[in-house]
Amino acid sequence: EPEVTQTPSHQVTQMGQEVILRCVPISNHLYFYWYRQILGQKVEFLVSFYNNEISEKSEIFDDQFSVERPDGSNFTLKIRSTKLEDSAMYFCASSELRAGYTFGSGTRLTVV
């Protein structure tokens, strides 16, 4: 069964550093998403991406965040200057239509 692949599974970074979280969506999917879950809290929507541009974003997705589809297979989330409160599990998802998401297994980001 097709999968959404995320790397790395765990990333530790120092406060103020830039991180890039990587995702390989399912190949025929057109819509891509990033969510995050701070420990013990809800899964929160960050951003959706379609046709090489951001289609929706939440209030969380401020100027320190950016997304990119650098080639035909990868979808990345960049956090420019990490803060302690960015520590969370980050989930990538993709969908063929605007529903029926397939999620990756997540990247646990720890900012120290």
Contacting positions for other proteins (CB under 8 A): 4, 6, 9, 33, 35, 40-45, 48, 56, 91, 93, 98-106
Nearer to other proteins, 36 or 79 (CB): 36
Query: E-strand spans in 38-79?
Result: 43-50, 53-57, 65-68, 75-79
Tokens standing for 22? Answer: 């990587």
For residue 107, give the nearest of 3, 36, 10, 5 by alpha carbon.
10
Nearer to other proteins, 28 or 41 (CB): 41
The strand pairing partners of 1, in sequence order, are none
Q: How far is the CB of 54 from other proteins (least distance, A)?
A: 12
Q: How far is the CB of 12 from other proteins (least distance, A)?
A: 18
